[in-house]
Amino acid sequence: MADRNISIVAILGSVRPNNYTAMALNLALDELNKHKGVKVELFDPAIMHLYPPGLSGDSPDPVKMREAVTDATGIILATPEYHGSFSSVMKLAIENLGFPSVMSGKPVALMGVAAGAIGAIKSLESLRGVCSHIGAIVLPGPVSVANCREIFDEDGTCNDERAEARIRSAATNLMHYIENNICPRISLEAMVRGEELPSCD
């Protein structure tokens, strides 16, 4: 498939230096970058200024992220598991996407990363609930990464083949959904309007 116009926004939910959530997300982004014509944009709250609802400032970051999500074909959210839920940083990022949220109607792939052996099941369930509530299309097969401190080296290399394949599947699942559902719809709408067939065919 050549010359597609698919854009994916990834949002990172940990701001800890050398965080493991970024290591996992990087693998998924690497997988996405194998797809020709797919633009990938990462939002890292550690280097952004986001504001809680009710506060505002000079930073253009919230608007930039909102516009990117508005234009995005799909989204990947990667959160650490903190205290049996997703991170407050991820919640802040979601709150910066507006009310109503610009994630509404967008396919969203979820990834959770935990130090514990049971993985990030609880954070993924709560994140799924929030994303569904705001109208996002939460894709099945969220990726839960367990024992992250054992499976990743400090340089971000993953030493567990099966875990790496599962992490990468967050990207491939999202691309499959987009290719099978979003792209045909865009082409069909263009045909009905007599427009030139666009983008992602």
Ligand X SMILES: Cc1cc2nc3c(=O)[nH]c(=O)nc-3n(C[C@H](O)[C@H](O)[C@H](O)COP(=O)(O)O)c2cc1C
List contacts with ligand X (CB under 6 A).
14, 16, 19-21, 80-84, 113-116, 148-149
Q: Before 100, cis peptide (omega within 30)?
A: yes
Query: 113 vs 136, which CB is nearer to ligand X?
Result: 113
Task: Please give the Cα distance from 167 to 186 (Å, whole number).
Answer: 28
Query: 21 vs 173, which CB is nearer to ligand X?
Result: 21
Q: Smallest distance from the beta carbon of 101 to ligand X, in angstroms?
A: 24
10 Å Cβ neighbour count for 170?
28
Query: 77 vs 200, which CB is nearer to ligand X?
Result: 77
Query: 42 vs 190, which CB is nearer to ligand X?
Result: 42
Q: Smallest distance from the beta carbon of 32 to ligand X, in angstroms?
A: 19
- Residue in the shown chain whose Cβ atom is closest to ligand X: 116
Q: For residue 177, what are its two tokens?
A: 């959904």
Task: Please give the Cα distance from 167 to 109 (Å, whole number).
Answer: 11
Q: Smallest distance from the beta carbon of 110 to ligand X, in angstroms?
A: 14
Phi, psi of 127 (to 5 degrees): -70, -40
Please name the residues in contact with 65: beta carbons below 8 A apart, sequence gap of 6 or more.
9, 11, 43, 48, 50, 93, 96, 97
Q: Smallest distance from the beta carbon of 171 to ligand X, in angstroms?
A: 18
